[in-house]
Amino acid sequence: MSDEQARSIYQLMMLTAWADGRLDASEALVAEAVQGDVPELRQLPDRGALADRAKKRLDQLGLERALAETAAGLADAEHRELAFVCCARILEADGIIAEEEFKVLSQLKALFAFSTLDVARLLQRAARS
């Protein structure tokens, strides 16, 4: 995975965490756990700046456009699936999936052209992580 792809995945995670307007401690903890599971994310030297950039994009562009711009850098199916799983893990962190957060997975499904079966498989993968 290239640094650019890792940055895109990390920023999608941060957009997911901020989708409901706040970043909960549980979401931050899950983001750290995800980084532990994905070495390329753990090795990103500028995670704080990437998180800030994701929040600024969200504030400036709105959720849909920020997700679309960020997801555009993920052309490889393996990386799109990893991004979806990482975002699903963030959504489930606080045990509450707000409407805005649900929109994240719906939009990623559309952006990545996932079928309903793909989503079910990826959500099972996220639950096992």
pLDDT in tens, 27-56: 777 878 887 788 888 888 888 888 889 899
User: Which of residues 3 and 115 earns the better pLDDT score?
Assistant: 115
Q: Looking at beta carbons, which pairs linking 25-32 to residues 24 or more positions away fall under 8 Å?
A: 26/93, 26/94, 26/95, 27/90, 27/93, 27/94, 29/93, 30/89, 30/90, 30/92, 30/93, 31/90
Span 77-93, pLDDT tens digits: 999 999 999 999 888 77
In terms of CATH architecture, what is 3-128? Answer: Orthogonal Bundle (1.10)
Which tokens hold the place of 44? Answer: 């990103």
Q: Where are the alpha helices (DSSP H) in the chain?
A: 3-18, 25-37, 39-42, 47-61, 63-71, 77-91, 99-111, 116-128
Per-domain boundaries in the chain = 3-128
* Residue 59 confidence (pLDDT): 93
Give me the percent of the chain exceeding a pLDDT of 70.
96
- Model confidence band, residue 96 (pLDDT cutoffs 50, 70, 90): low
